[in-house]
Amino acid sequence: MKEIKTTNAPSAIGPYSQGIQSENTIFVSGQLPICPSTNKIENEIKAATNQMLKNMKAVLNESGADLSNVVKVTIFMSDLEMFTETNDVYKTYFTAPYPARSCVQVARLPKDVLIEAECIAVLSRV
């Protein structure tokens, strides 16, 4: 098992890793819409989704993977009314065949952000 750590995504805010690689599988922890260089939280859903996915991409890139390696995404939202706007941004980061995905509304997210996402990626070889 190998820890994935990058300054191009926000640091973990608890006792967990930004990502873990186990053989050819990469697990990216929940990424928040926080700019890693300024710690600014994006509070508009399209900007928040964009920053969250940039952070996810940065963790994947640190491991030698990219978004094309992603097989599963889980999105947590504070309000599913933002689903359409989220999809508008999401589809600019992923192409068909899209990763499997779940999207759930939750009562609250860390730092009271609008959205958070985690993913699983698979490298074609170790």
pLDDT digits (tens, 9 = 90+) for 46-63: 999 999 999 999 999 999
- Supply the pLDDT for residue 125: 58
Q: Where do the domains of the chain lie, and which CATH numbers do they carry?
A: 2-122 (3.30.1330.40)
pLDDT at 10 > cutoff 70:
yes
Q: Is 84 exposed, middle or buried (0-12, 13-18, 19+ CB in 10 A)?
A: exposed
pLDDT at 126 exceeding the cut of 60: no
pLDDT, averaged across the chain: 96
Q: What are phi and psi of 22, to 5 degrees?
A: -125, 110
The answer to whether residue 122 scores a pLDDT higher than 70 is yes
Per-residue confidence (pLDDT) for residue 124, from 0 to 100: 82
Q: Indicate whether 66 pLDDT > 70.
A: yes
| Model confidence, pTM | 0.95
Q: CA 98, CA 67: separation in Å to the nearest integer?
A: 10
Interval 96-112 mean pLDDT? 97
- Provide the pLDDT for residue 37: 96
The larger pLDDT score, comparing residue 126 to residue 102, is at 102
pLDDT digits over 19-37, tens only? 999 999 999 999 999 999 9
